[in-house]
Homo-oligomer: A and B are copies of this chain.
Amino acid sequence: MLSAEIIAIGSELLTPTKTDTNSLWLTEKLNEIGIEVKLKTIVGDDELRLEETIKDALKRSDIVITSGGLGPTEDDITRQVSAKAVGRELVFYEELMKELAERFRRWGREMPEINKRQAFVIEGAKVLPNPNGSAAGMLIEIENKFFVILPGPPRELKPMFETCVLPKLREKAGKVFVKRRVLRVTGIGESAVDEQIAPVYKSYAAVQTSILFNRSEVEIHLSAQSNSETEAEKILEELAEKLVKKLGIAVFAINGETMEEVVGKLLVENGKTLAVAESCTGGLIGERLTEVSGSSAYFIEGVTAYANEAKIRTLNVSRMLIEEHGAVSAEVAEAMAKGMRERAKTDYAISVTGVAGPGGGTMEKPVGLVFIGYSDKIETKSIKINLPGDRYLIRWRASQFALDFLRRKVLKKVESKSN
């Protein structure tokens, strides 16, 4: 099995608040083709330590991948230190400079002098183009080892790695296939999920199963390794099917999809439209739904009625209802959903009203109390939930509950229709 080391470069990654996430993604990609990550280093803009780290890594491991430190400023030292570590020169690449200048021109800007630094490349390195940024990557083969230099921003690193590096590594790693699958589950806790499915997954010795809790749902990670791709996929498919049978409607994704993707797909398949009325989630549900490309096919309109006046004038909630039950109530949640659906003339509408905190909670209506409303042409319903967590988590979990409530409602309608 080939070994890899990952080096994340940048002093900001050594502060108390920043963590290197690129290496998690890289590890996943490397594991998938049977390459094991043996060590990770995070090093700042410190020439000596970086040089030593690169040298050590290249001595010990088959593949060394760095991320970051390729920007145009003085504290971006990856280029010159890497060159030094492998005992090669930096050479100026006219071609790269032209591309850079062109990129700036397209943005309507003159290329600053300082960016010329980004046109230097280690002698003998294969240049990895960066369609998403100004820092090109490099791949250097030294004595049967791979030294890969990538930019730090995930949106630049990921496509570059997948396009230019992964195929080469796959070739080097030989025929090992590791296939993964993630099932996502709502409405049941981590240990309850484990209790229910342990007898099933324990009979699959070739599959590594782990159960994780992630903000508002349980994830079941499956990983199967085989020298046949079909075999690895087949065994995963078989196990996933058994798990879904065991857990039923609680499983909302069988391939790692997000809740908003699942809901979107369901609406498209059934030719239905949706509108969303939000209060404490402040637009989060709409934002999540429209993050999915193509969502304009089913997402028609969203209203964030933060003030009571907005609930009254735009969602047609009656002032008396708010006065009688308070804005955070089942009655208002239902009125918001109904008013939204009628305004937007959609098949479905969902709504959220609650106390996200940290202020605004009372004995009667504490922080975390949330009502989810649902309305279709036949019925209007609501549920009351109590969510733990801080403001961020309460809002996130409320948005997830609302989408899940819709998902279950739509699935039941579809089911009862097909019966």
Chain A residues in contact with chain B, CB under 8 A? 11-12, 14-17, 19, 21, 24-25, 27-28, 31, 36-46, 48-49, 52-53, 56, 60, 71-73, 75, 107, 109, 112, 114-115, 132, 153, 155, 189-192, 194-195, 210-213, 221, 276, 278, 280-287, 289-291, 293-296, 299-307, 309-310, 313-314, 343-345, 357-359, 388-393, 395
Contact = CB atoms under 8 A, between A and B. Distances in A.
A188 to B, nearest CB: 10
A281 B291 contact: no
A290 B302 contact: no
Q: Among the interface residues A38, A39, A73, A191, which one has the most CB atoms of the partner chain B within 10 A?
A: A191
Is chain A's binding surface mostly helix, strand, loop or mixed? mixed
A287 B294 contact: no
A42 B40 CA distance: 5
B41 A39 contact: yes
The 4 closest A-B pairs by CB, nearest first: A282-B290, A283-B286, A283-B283, A302-B304
Contacts of A72: 190-191
Contact of A24 (B17, B71, B195): B17
Contacts of A299: 282, 306
Copies assembled: 2
Contact of A283 (B40, B42, B56, B304): B304
Contacts of A294: 359
Contact of A282 (B195, B286, B343, B391): B286
A212 to B, nearest CB: 6
B213 A71 contact: yes
A31 B16 contact: yes
B46 A56 contact: no
Given A49-B60, A109-B189, A282-B295, 16 more contacts: A19-B19, A45-B210, A71-B213, A73-B194, A75-B211, A107-B388, A155-B390, A155-B393, A278-B286, A282-B287, A286-B287, A293-B358, A301-B314, A303-B304, A304-B304, A310-B344
